[in-house]
Amino acid sequence: MKKRKKIALVAHDNRKPDLIEWVKYNRDILLKHKLVCTGTTGKLVEEVLINDKIIESHELSIKKLKSGPLGGDQQLGALIADGKIDILIFFWDPMSSQPHDVDVKALLRICVLYNVPTAMNRSTADFLISSHLFKGEYQPIVKNYQEYINRSIQ
């Protein structure tokens, strides 16, 4: 990971207000990094950063994917598998079933597989971005799956 991180921001509908509040609180930190968001979350993050007149729209580095239920979670998983995401902040709603629960589970599995720091709530997100490891370059250790790839199939 370089000093400028690629941070994915995701939130289920009932948790979007919490994530937006967290983004406002941490905007100075987040603006130094590249952001990737799923659908509506990306629109809300962009609006709050631009509407607060913190920055001009051309200075904001944010990539918006599809909405989670429409494939955004899978797009994000692909970016993680390709090494294009450094950190995932995912405010998920544990009290509501989601139509794309299997996609969310797959996304979290990919984060574990590729050793991507993942925050599922505000406290963990706060700890993650306030860590001294967040502020500089960091090389996560990713398990070598070559033995699995080269296994013999009978």
Catalytic residues: 73
Answer yes or no: is 33 within a domain. Answer: yes
Answer yes or no: is 117 within a domain. Answer: yes
Compute the distance between CA of residue 125 and CA of residue 94 in angstroms, rounded to an integer.
16
Answer yes or no: is 84 within a domain. Answer: yes
pLDDT at 51 over 90: no
What letter represents residue 5's amino acid? K
The parent domain of residue 51 ranges over 6-149
The answer to whether residues 10 and 2 touch, using CB atoms and an 8 Å cutoff, is: no
pLDDT band at 37 (very low <50, low <70, confident <90, very high): very high
Q: What tens digit of pLDDT does each residue of 60-116 get?
A: 789 999 998 899 999 999 999 999 999 999 999 888 877 778 888 999 999 999 999
Answer yes or no: is 1 within a domain. Answer: no
Element (H, E) at 9: strand 6-11
Report the chain's mean pLDDT, rounded to a whole number. 90
The pTM for the full model equals: 0.90
Number of folded domains that form the chain: 1
DSSP string, 49-90: HHHTTSS-GGG--EEE---GGGTHHHHHHHHHHTT--SEEEE
pLDDT at 8 over 80: yes
Answer yes or no: is 124 within a domain. Answer: yes
| Residue 37 CB neighbour total at 10 angstroms | 25
Joined tokens for residue 87: 């950190």
Answer yes or no: is 154 within a domain. Answer: no
Q: Which CATH number goes with the domain that contains 29? A: 3.40.50.1380
Strand order in 6-11's β-sheet?
Answer: 62-64, 34-37, 6-11, 87-91, 118-119
